[in-house]
């Protein structure tokens, strides 16, 4: 297969970026998207040019490092996958492919396709944990957790922190990211004690860091590589509202 | 009882041997060693802890859990990771589960049995005392992770569910769908985040360790490269903890993440830390086979699949040939024409034999011409029986995400036709030599998790890596590190202006300059692939003396070619991924050479290390306990020198050493 690639090139956070055009020929459909970029980069190096910088690590859809905005969609034209799980057979032969970094005020570009996502770490540092010291845990079966609750928690906890939800959102909101952590912990008995303060602290931090507000658009859910449901945002809102107006639930 | 201090000079292959440092294994009965030892360790009082600086390199399960636990105690911890977030460390990719001796299934599991299984799984090349401690701590890990909110799988009654893994006849593996590593890492990372909020832990992301600073024989800090600006920076501490994972990427193609590397280990090795059992590498039997030449990494399919999946190839070669050409489909092959070779050869354990055994068996069938993919390098992992017996819903619930992952990559639905799998490089049992306190031979330098060599011997059992990383980080290092730090209280504040920091940083700078100075246009990947070919061919699943010697020659050549020919475009003072890669490959080439030395010196087969010269009549590993019941710890003498072998003799007082048999 042959492709025309329009790739965002930007030297660093302060420089202006622009699309650069590359031709790439003889790519097999079994090539993954980052493997395609590997091939391009090696051709560029051999031609004495600088390769394209992009984040990637596990290449099996779990680390959350890769995240490219491909033809206007986070992680490209396939559902329920990360960029590294996108295969070139998903594109038409001779397609023109636009490749951009995440676009969000809270994720400044570091270089080319790489953005700074440390804002996500900061949100989790604000409260995305259960306050238990090592050594003080009771025996694991002390609290029973129904299968339903455990499954719900696991659904939410499968977030990989890639940032596609923010990139997809017209408001640049991190609600689905925040909700997934809040909901994963609030669905378990051991996470209930702090559910209220956790929701409040994480939302406050999200606002502070320049993420936008949620207007229930649902594009985050549509583009989430792990299919995390916006029902978890509803759970976050419940925890948050309850927090503001404590009383019988 | 004691792993004695033994002096050896000059035996096999003209490698000089010298004494090994004391492993500090406590005396007493096995089950009391750790308890007694803990009581003897020195403490640092709470008021002194904020003044004690600790550097942790790496934020996988071991690094993040250690940072959290030490932060909770009040130490001043700085954590470094190469990714943009600690949560991306490669522990995140562990799928199947974590072992613990809870005996929730009432199938006669116990600490004793987990200890024996792990020791036997490692083919009796690990320390008894360490392995027992690991088994002993396993249950506390589950308790703690549940308290952290790790959503382990539950039965309908709300109790924790278990499944089985290779090398065990009990169900002791706890899991969170196929994402156990991710969930455990989120637990450790969250606990670490809590400490960041408290101010005890500082995280430096997109920083890569470049060298260790040793002053008067003690680790006193590190030189790091800020991967965004390219600047070299210095950090000083009272102790340095290496939690940088394994070096499986020395094989180029492996299941490890792209950025996993062995550079920090090699830096410490060159500074005087002994490197133990470097040739002990694990080839995982169930990975998606290689396709095409541009593939950059391989994807693992969890070992848990072997609970319900049956592994087979056709009984006759003609049918294998037809399958390769896609003239027939596997489901068309009748039951009696299938060779379930693991069930045939190992009836007691069946499809759940340990990884090294399953990998070799797959290679044996494919080498004999029964392989099934286009390349002939694949076997089937079939779920049709399980689906027939238990129903699609049950099986999909267990492995759905793995089925989906497989389908995304291969374009084939494993429910309709069996999966195709083949062994791939996965994990390294070798690592920095550590004593019972997890301290290396450089005082103040500790190694935890996959970065050390300690607990898995010559082969790691499935679901034991997560257990070991977390045992080291949550429950061992937080007890043993203070014992070292206690001797440092009142020591004057550390200065990054010390001349040793200047010298070390200068050496790092020169190393970078040498790589960026070439005017060629050959990308680093070209050399990396060559390295991978040498490794897989000669230091892979089967090793021979002549092959290893050939590997050494080719590695020397590769090293020269690489240094003279690699192209690193762009400036070092910017984010430069090609420079990062080239630096890691340079270290991998040296590490490969060390692995070849180790594999050559160990003239026996054990666990994942299979020397063709040492096998039983039916092709199983043949150990030589008389001559090789030791940990091989290698000392660096210089780039052009042969490394020196130090032998730590292993003695087994409590476990009965037997030839491994899974039949």
Tens-place pLDDT, residues B601-660? 999 999 999 999 999 998 999 999 999 999 999 999 999 899 999 999 999 999 999 988
CA dihedral B401, B402, B403, B405 (to 10 degrees): 90
- Residue B604 belongs to a domain: yes
Nearest-angstrom CA–CA distance, A165 and A172: 8
| Domain boundaries, position B373 | 285-425
Residue B303 domain flag: yes
Torsion of CA A156, A161, A164, A166, to 10 degrees: 90
Nearest CA in chain A to B567: A45
The 3-state DSSP composition of chain B as helix, strand, coil percent (nearest 5) reads 40, 15, 40
Q: Which helix (H) or strand (E) holds B586?
A: helix B577-601
The rounded distance, in Å, linking the Cα atoms of A187 and A151 is 9
Rounded to 5°, angle at Cα A167 from A166 and A171 = 60
CA angle A35, A39, A41 (to 5 degrees): 110
Which residue in A has a C-alpha nearest to residue B102's C-alpha? A140
pLDDT in tens, A29-80: 989 999 999 999 999 999 999 999 999 999 999 999 999 999 999 999 999 9
Among B593, B611, B252, CA closest to B424: B252
As a dihedral over the C-alpha atoms of residue B526, residue B532, residue B538, residue B543, rounded to 10 degrees, the angle is 170
Residue B385: pLDDT over 50? yes
**Per-residue pLDDT band at B397 (split at 50, 70, 90):** confident
Mean pLDDT of A202-228: 96
User: pLDDT grade, residue A247 (50/70/90)?
Assistant: low
Instruction: Closest CB to A63: pick one of B93, B152, B205.
Output: B93
User: Could you tell me if residue B487 is inside a domain?
Assistant: no
* Orientation angle between helical segments A175-186 and A231-244, nearest 10 degrees: 70
In the structure, what pLDDT confidence band is assigned to residue B13 with cuts at 50, 70 and 90? very low
Residue of B84, B302, B528 best to disrupt the A interface, most CBs of A under 10 A: B84
* Chain B residues 342-381 with a CB less than 8 Å from chain A: none
Buried residues in B554-591 as b, exposed as e (16+ CB within 10 A): bbeebbeebeeebbbbbebebbbbbbbbbbbbbbbbbb
Segment (H or E) for B647: strand B644-649
The pLDDT, as a whole number, for residue B283 is: 95
Residues B421 and B534 in one domain: no
DSSP bridge partners of B276: B431, B633
Instruction: Return the SS3 of B610.
Output: coil
Residue A115 bridge partners (DSSP): A109
Mean pLDDT, range A171-192, rounded to an integer: 97
Give the residue from B406, B425, B444 where a domain finishes.
B425
The SS3 assignment for B343 reads helix
pLDDT of residue B2: 41
Domains and CATH numbers, chain A: 3-100 (3.10.20.30), 118-244 (1.10.1060.10)
How close B601 comes to chain A (CA, Å)?
Answer: 34
Q: In this structure, is residue B493 part of a structural domain?
A: no
Return the half-sphere exposure (C-beta side, CA atoms, 13 A cut-off) of residue A27.
29
Residue B566 has pLDDT above 80, yes or no: yes
Residue B398: pLDDT band (50, 70, 90) is: confident
pLDDT at residue B491 tops 90: no
Name the pLDDT band for B494 (thresholds 50, 70, 90): confident
Q: Closest residue of A to B196, CA-based?
A: A125
Task: Please name the residues between 297 and 336 in chain B that touch chain A, using a CB distance below 8 Å.
Answer: 297, 299-300
Same domain assignment for residues B506 and B414: no
Question: Which residues in chain B have their CB less than 8 angstroms from residue A191's CB?
Answer: 149
State how many domains chain B has.
Answer: 2
Alpha carbon distance A111, B573 (integer Å): 13
Q: Which of A79, A134, A156, A187 to mutate to test the interface with B (most CBs of B within 10 A)?
A: A134
Residue-level pLDDT at B659: 87
Task: Taking residues B43-55, report their average pLDDT.
Answer: 97
DSSP A61-107: SSS-----EETTEET-SSSS--GGG-BGGGS-TTEEEEEE----TTS
Compute the mean pLDDT over every residue in chain B, rounded to the nearest whole number. 94
DSSP code of residue B577: H
A93 interface with B at CB cutoff 8 Å: no
| Residue B11 predicted with pLDDT over 60 | no
Here the CATH number for the domain that contains residue B403 is: 3.90.700.10
ipTM: 0.97
**B214: helix, coil or strand?**
strand
pLDDT given for residue B36 in this prediction = 97
Looking at the fold, whether B513 and B618 belong to one and the same domain comes out as yes
Residues in B touching A160 (Cβ below 8 Å): 92, 182
Structural contact between residues A173 and A214, judged by C-beta atoms closer than 8 angstroms = yes
Return the pLDDT at A242. 82
Q: For position B6, what pLDDT does the model report? A: 40
Q: Where are the beta strands (DSSP E) in B115-238?
A: 173-174, 201-205, 207-215, 218-226, 232-236
* A43 close to A52: Cβ distance less than 8 angstroms: no
CB contact under 8 A, A57 and B521: no
Residue A160 CA to residue A61 CA, distance in Å, equals 8
Say if B516 falls within a structural domain.
Answer: yes
| H or E element at residue B233 | strand B232-236
Residue B477 lies in a domain: no
Within-domain flag for B104: no
Distance, in Å, from the CA atom of B88 to the CA atom of B84, rounded to the nearest integer, reads 8
Q: Are residues B291 and B391 in the same domain?
A: yes
pLDDT at B411: 85
Give residue A245's pLDDT band: very low, low, confident or very high (50, 70, 90): low
Alpha helices in B199-274, H assignment, sequence order: 263-270
Determine the average pLDDT of the residues in B320-341: 95
- Do residues B297 and B387 both lie within one domain? yes
**Could you give the percent of chain B with pLDDT greater than 90?**
89
**B 472-491: CB under 8 A from A:** 474-475, 478
CB B449 within 8 A of CB B472: yes
Q: Model pTM?
A: 0.96
B149: contact with A, CB 8 A cutoff = yes
> Is residue B72 domain-resident?
no
- The closest alpha carbon to A43, from B579, B525, B583, belongs to B525
Residue B565's domain is classified under what CATH number?
1.20.58.100
Amino acid B10: pLDDT: 38
- State the pLDDT at residue B15: 45
Question: H-helix or E-strand containing B429?
Answer: none
The predicted structure's pLDDT at residue B19? 66
Q: Do residues B513 and B417 share a domain?
A: no
Give counts: helices (H), strands (E), chain B.
18, 20
Those residues whose C-beta lies under 8 Å from the C-beta of residue B659, and which sit 6 or more positions away, are B623
Nearest to A164 by CA among A17, A64, A58: A64
């Amino acid at each position: 297969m042959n492709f025309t690639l329009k790739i965002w090139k930007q030297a660093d956070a302060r420089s202006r970026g622009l699309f650069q055009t590359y031709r790439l020929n003889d790519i097999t459909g079994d090539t993954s998207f980052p493997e395609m970029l590997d091939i391009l980069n090696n051709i560029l190096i051999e031609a004495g040019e600088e390769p394209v910088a992009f984040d990637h690590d596990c290449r099996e859809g779990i680390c959350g490092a890769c995240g490219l905005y491909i033809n206007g969609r986070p992680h490209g034209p396939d559902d329920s996958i990360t960029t590294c799980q996108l295969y070139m057979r998903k594109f038409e032969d001779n397609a023109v492919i636009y490749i951009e970094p995440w676009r969000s005020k809270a994720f400044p570009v570091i270089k080319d396709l790489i953005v700074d996502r440390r804002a996500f770490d900061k949100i989790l540092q604000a409260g995305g944990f259960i306050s238990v010291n090592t050594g003080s845990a009771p025996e694991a079966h002390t609290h029973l957790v129904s299968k339903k609750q455990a499954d719900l928690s696991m659904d939410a906890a499968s977030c990989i922190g890639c940032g596609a939800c923010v990139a997809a959102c017209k408001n640049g909101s991190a609600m689905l990211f925040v909700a997934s952590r809040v909901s994963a912990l609030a669905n378990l008995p051991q996470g209930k004690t702090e559910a209220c303060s956790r929701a409040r602290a994480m939302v406050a931090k999200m606002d502070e860091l320049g993420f936008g507000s949620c207007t229930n658009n649902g594009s985050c859910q549509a583009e989430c590589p792990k299919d995390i449901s916006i029902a978890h945002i509803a759970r976050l809102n419940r925890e948050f509202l309850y927090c503001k107006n404590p009383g019988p639930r | 009882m004691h792993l004695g201090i033994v002096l050896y000079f000059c035996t096999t292959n003209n490698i000089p041997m010298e004494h090994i440092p004391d492993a500090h294994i406590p005396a007493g009965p096995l089950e009391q060693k750790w308890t007694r030892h803990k009581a003897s360790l020195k403490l640092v009082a709470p008021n002194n802890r904020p003044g004690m600086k600790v550097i942790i390199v790496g934020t996988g399960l071991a690094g993040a859990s250690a940072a959290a636990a030490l932060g909770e105690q009040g130490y001043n911890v700085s954590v470094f990771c190469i990714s943009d977030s600690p949560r991306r460390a490669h522990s995140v990719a562990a799928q199947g589960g974590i072992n613990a001796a809870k005996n929730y299934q009432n199938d006669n599991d116990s600490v004793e049995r987990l200890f024996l299984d792990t020791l036997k799984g490692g083919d009796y090349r690990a320390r008894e005392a360490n392995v027992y401690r690991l088994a002993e701590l396993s249950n506390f890990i589950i308790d703690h992770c549940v308290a952290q909110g790790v959503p382990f799988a539950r039965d309908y009654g709300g109790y924790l569910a278990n499944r089985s893994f290779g090398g065990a006849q009990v169900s002791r593996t706890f899991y969170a769908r196929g994402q156990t590593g991710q969930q455990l890492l989120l637990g450790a990372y969250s606990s670490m985040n809590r400490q960041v909020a408290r101010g005890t832990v500082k995280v430096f992301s997109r920083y890569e360790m470049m060298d260790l600073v040793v002053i008067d024989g003690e680790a006193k800090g590190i030189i790091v490269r800020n991967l965004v600006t390219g600047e070299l920076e210095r950090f000083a501490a009272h102790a340095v903890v290496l939690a940088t994972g394994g070096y499986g990427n020395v094989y180029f193609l492996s299941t490890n993440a792209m950025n996993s590397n062995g550079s920090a280990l090699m830096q410490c090795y060159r500074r005087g830390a002994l490197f133990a059992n470097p040739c002990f590498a694990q080839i995982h039997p169930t990975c998606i086979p290689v396709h095409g030449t541009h593939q950059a990494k391989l994807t693992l399919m969890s070992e848990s699949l072997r609970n319900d999946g049956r592994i087979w190839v056709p009984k006759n070669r003609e049918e294998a040939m037809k399958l390769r050409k896609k003239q027939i489909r596997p489901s068309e092959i009748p039951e009696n024409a299938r060779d379930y070779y693991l069930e045939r050869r190992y009836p007691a354990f069946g499809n759940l034999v340990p990884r090294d055994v399953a990998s070799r068996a797959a290679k044996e069938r494919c080498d004999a011409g029964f392989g099934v993919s286009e390349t002939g390098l694949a076997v089937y992992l079939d779920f049709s029986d399980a689906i027939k017996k238990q129903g699609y819903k049950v099986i999909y619930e267990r492995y759905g995400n793995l089925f989906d992952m497989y389908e995304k990559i291969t374009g084939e639905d494993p429910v309709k036709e069996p999966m195709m799998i083949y062994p791939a490089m996965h994990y390294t049992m070798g690592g920095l030599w550590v004593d019972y306190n997890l301290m290396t031979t450089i005082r103040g330098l500790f190694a935890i998790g996959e970065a050390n060599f300690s607990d898995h011997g010559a082969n790691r059992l499935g679901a034991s890596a997560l257990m070991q990383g977390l045992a080291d980080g949550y429950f061992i290092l937080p007890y043993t590190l203070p014992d070292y730090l206690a001797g440092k209280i009142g020591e004057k504040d550390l200065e990054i202006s010390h001349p040793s920091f200047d010298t070390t940083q200068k050496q790092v700078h020169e190393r970078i300059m040498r790589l960026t100075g070439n005017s060629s246009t050959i990308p680093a990947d070209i050399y990396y692939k060559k390295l991978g070919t040498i490794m897989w061919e000669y230091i892979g699943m089967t090793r021979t003396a002549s092959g290893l010697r050939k590997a050494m020659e080719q590695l020397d050549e590769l090293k020269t070619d690489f240094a003279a020919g690699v192209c690193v475009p762009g400036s070092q003072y910017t984010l430069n991924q090609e420079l990062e890669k080239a630096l890691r490959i340079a270290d991998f080439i040296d590490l490969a050479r060390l692995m070849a030395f180790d594999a050559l010196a160990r003239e026996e087969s054990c666990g994942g290390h299979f020397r063709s010269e040492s096998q039983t009549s039916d092709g199983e590993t043949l150990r030589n306990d008389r001559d090789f019941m030791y940990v091989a710890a290698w000392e660096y003498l210089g780039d052009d020198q042969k490394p020196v072998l130090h032998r730590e003799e292993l003695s087994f007082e409590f476990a009965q050493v037997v030839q491994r048999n899974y039949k």
